[in-house]
Chains A and B, each alone.
Chain A
Amino acid sequence: MFRIQVCALIGGLVVAMAGLPAVSAAEFPTTRPERSLQFAQDIRAVRLGVVPKVVGYSEKGAEATLRQSGFLIDVAGTEASNYPKGTVVRQDPPEGKSAVKGSTVRVWTATAPRVLVPQVVVPQVRVPQVLVPEVRGRTVRDAETLLKRARLGMRVSGAEESNYPEGSVARQEPGARTRADRGSTVYVWTATMSLVTVPDLTGLSIDSARQRLRDNRLGLGATSRRPSLPPEGKIIGHDPEARAQVKAGSLVSIAVGDASQVEVPRLAGQLERAARETLKTARLRAGDRHTEESDGQEDRVLRQAPEAGSIVARGSTVDYWIAVPAAATVPSVEGMRTQEALTILKSARLVGEQTGTEEALRPQGEIVRQEPAAGSRVPRGSRVLFWIASPVRVAVPDLSGMRGPDAVKRLLAEGLVVGTVGQEESEEAEGTVIDQNPQPAQRVPLGTPVNYRVASLALIRVPSLINLSLDRARQELVGVHLVMTRLPAEWDNATRGTVIDQNPKPDTPVARGAEVIVRISAGPLFLAPWVIGGGIGAILLAASAGIWRSKHRPDGTRSGVAAKPEVRVRLEGEEVDADQGIGLDRNVPEVRIRVRLERGESEVSARQLVAREERRTS
Chain B
Amino acid sequence: MSDSRIQLSDLIAGDLRAVADKVEQELRTGDSAGSASIAWSMVKSEAAARLHDALKIDVLELVATAWSKAKELKKYGDTARYPPDQSIVVHLGEHAVSCRVQPVVEVLFNEVSLPSVRFNVELVARFKSAALNIRGGVIREVLPGACSAQAVLRYGNVKLKEATTPEVRFPGRLGLGNGIRIN
Q: Which A positions have Cβ atoms within 8 angstroms of B?
A: 361, 363, 391-392, 404-405, 408-409, 412-413, 415, 417-420, 445-447, 449, 559-561, 565, 567, 569, 571, 576, 578, 580, 582, 589-618
- Tell me the complex Cα distance, A490–B108, Å: 38
Closest to B90 in A: A613
- Tell me the complex Cα distance, A589–B92, Å: 55
Which chain B positions have C-beta within 8 A of A589?
109-110
- Tell me the complex Cα distance, A607–B72, Å: 11
Contact indicator A606/B95 (Cβ below 8 Å): yes
Which chain B positions have C-beta within 8 A of A608?
93
- B158 close to A (CB within 8 Å): no
Contact indicator A601/B100 (Cβ below 8 Å): yes
With A361-B146, A578-B53, A607-B93 in contact, do A412 and B166 touch (Cβ < 8 Å)?
yes
Q: Which of B15, B46, B51, B98 contacts A603 (CB 8 A)?
A: B98
Q: Which of B54, B73, B85, B90 contacts A618 (CB 8 A)?
A: B85
Contact indicator A363/B143 (Cβ below 8 Å): yes
With A447-B172, A600-B102, A611-B129 in contact, do A616 and B4 touch (Cβ < 8 Å)?
no
B162 CB → nearest A CB, Å: 13
Q: Which of A571, A597, A598, A603 contacts B66 (CB 8 A)?
A: A603
B175 CB → nearest A CB, Å: 13
Contact indicator A606/B171 (Cβ below 8 Å): no
Contact indicator B171/A604 (Cβ below 8 Å): no
Closest to A418 in B: B10
Contact indicator A559/B45 (Cβ below 8 Å): yes
Contact indicator A594/B106 (Cβ below 8 Å): yes
B55 CB → nearest A CB, Å: 8
Contact indicator B50/A597 (Cβ below 8 Å): no
- Tell me the complex Cα distance, A409–B110, Å: 40
Within 8 A of A (CB), among B45-76: 45-47, 50-51, 53-54, 56-57, 62, 65-67, 69-70, 72-73
Which chain B positions have C-beta within 8 A of A571?
57
Q: Report 29 cross-chain contacts, Cβ distance below 8 Å, ordered by A residue.
A: A361-B169, A409-B163, A412-B166, A413-B168, A418-B6, A418-B10, A446-B169, A561-B43, A561-B46, A578-B50, A589-B110, A591-B42, A591-B107, A593-B46, A594-B106, A596-B104, A598-B104, A599-B101, A600-B100, A600-B101, A603-B98, A604-B96, A606-B96, A609-B92, A609-B93, A611-B92, A615-B88, A616-B88, A617-B86
Contact indicator B46/A559 (Cβ below 8 Å): yes
A391, A597, A618 interface centre (most CB from chain B within 10 Å): A597
Which chain A positions have C-beta within 8 A of B105?
593-595
- Tell me the complex Cα distance, A247–B148, Å: 104
Apart from A609-B93, A610-B73: 15 A-B pairs, beta carbons within 8 A: A408-B13, A412-B6, A413-B168, A571-B57, A578-B53, A591-B39, A597-B101, A602-B65, A602-B69, A602-B99, A603-B98, A604-B72, A609-B95, A613-B89, A618-B86
